Amino acid sequence: MALEQGWKKFRGHQIFQWLYRKRVSTIDEMSDLSKDTREILKQNYSLASLELRDKQVSSDGTCKYLFALEDGSLIESVLMQFDYGKSICVTSQVGCNMGCAFCASGLTKKKRNLTSGEMVAQVLYVQQDLDKTQDRLSHIVVMGTGEPFDNYENVMNFLSTVNHDRGLGIGARHITISTCGVVPRIYEFAKEHTQYNLAISLHAPNNELRDQLMPVNHAYPLEKLMEAIRYYASENNRRLTFEYILLKGVNDKPEHVKQLAKLLKGLNAYVNLIPYNSVDEHGFKGVDHASAMVFYDALMKQGIRCTIRKEHGADIDAACGQLRIKHLRKEEEGR
């Protein structure tokens, strides 16, 4: 909701300063605003507050936060430490409707979209945690539970706030949105010409397999997806990422390397090979490092750049949505 009070611009600057620099948690703390101004703000707005329910810290520094939103919904955010900086993985929806066969998030259907404020709040909370050691979040990935392109407007509002100079000032090139392939939104995103990175969860190089793993493929099969991606590439001079979880005996065969190479040929892109975090409820298994290397080498030989994603938080509930599911189960048992 836009605030149309006819206030001077500097009021907005003051409010941004309180929210994102001083990081207050109540409007009353905004002490250089008059009491009347604070009252108007309080009547029209509230600051999204998160209640920490659980926090798991891994030996590699990965930190998983379980939050309750104001309506009691549970969401997760993950802090990951890289050589190049600290990155937060943000949740965009409560549950997810995409139904990918291997993913923990889809075990519960989407309850609702997160507001942009609730996404900003995840970043602020983790940043406040880092303030204690004078560290700074440098990167954001929208790769937590949910499909960001099924909550497009709120995600874009969220990102412009954290990207804004007077917000958290996190560089657009340090922000990545990951989608399972909601084609109409890829076109919309392409037309916005932002500097955010786009990652596509591919996970299968042919329709037969992708249909089995990712129901979204029924609505937007690979031909439509690749057409949208080629349009994006023609409009934006940005390198694309394709995510590909290696699932043992499913999508890790030599024929898949060939199909993948054919699909991606000529694109300014690279494939991020992802070790699978196994989810008890699904039957899939990941591959060992040696098999991942074989796939990697074969793909490189086909002229496709790729990387193997380093595992983070292997000793905690690292897979998307795992910690949340565990808590939901506990709540059910308690009933």
Using CB under 6 A as the binding rule, whether residue 119 contacts ligand SAH is answered as: no
Q: Tell me if 196 contacts ligand SAH by CB under 6 A.
A: no
Taking CB atoms within 8 Å and a gap of at least 24, the contacts of 127-131 are 127/23, 127/168, 128/23, 129/63, 129/79, 130/79, 130/86, 131/23
Distance CA 140, CA 257 (A): 30
**Is 277 annotated as a binding-site member?**
yes
Closest-CA residue to 147 (of 93, 69, 77): 93
CB of 143 vs ligand SAH, minimal distance in Å: 4
Nearer to ligand SAH among residue 58 and residue 201 (C-beta) = 201
Task: Extract long-range pairs of 52-61: CB within 8 Å, 24+ residues apart.
Answer: 52/125, 53/327, 54/323, 54/327, 56/313, 56/316, 56/317, 56/323, 57/316, 58/312, 58/313, 58/314, 58/315, 58/316, 58/318, 59/315, 60/312, 60/313, 60/314
Q: Considering only residues 65, 276, 295, 296, which one is a binding residue for ligand SAH as defined by CB under 6 A?
A: 276
Summarize the chain as % helix, strand, coil (round to 5): 40, 20, 40
320 is catalytic: yes
Q: Does residue 127 interact with ligand SAH by CB under 6 A?
A: no
Binding mask 243-272 toward ligand SAH (x if CB under 6 A, else -) reads x-x---------------------------
> 100 a known binding residue?
yes
> Contact letters (x/-) for ligand SAH, 51-90, by CB under 6 A?
----------------------------------------
The binding track of 166-185 with respect to ligand SAH, each residue x by CB under 6 A or -, is: ------------xxx-----
Give the CA distances from residue 108 to residues 95, 127, 150, 154, 305, in Å, rounded to whole numbers and listed in that order: 5, 28, 16, 21, 35
Q: Is 76 a catalytic residue?
A: yes
| Residue placing its CB nearer to ligand SAH in the complex, 15 or 104 | 104
Q: Which residue among 63, 76, 118, 180 is the active-site one?
A: 76
- Which of 279, 298, 299, 323 contacts ligand SAH by CB under 6 A? 279
What are the structure tokens assigned to 309, written together? 């994603």
Is 201 one of the annotated binding-site residues? yes
Active site residues: 76, 320
Residues belonging to the binding site for [4Fe-4S] cluster are 96, 100, 103
Using CB under 6 A as the criterion, which residues of the chain lie in contact with ligand SAH when the complex forms? Answer: 98, 100, 102-104, 143, 147, 178-180, 201, 243, 245, 274, 276-277, 279, 319-320
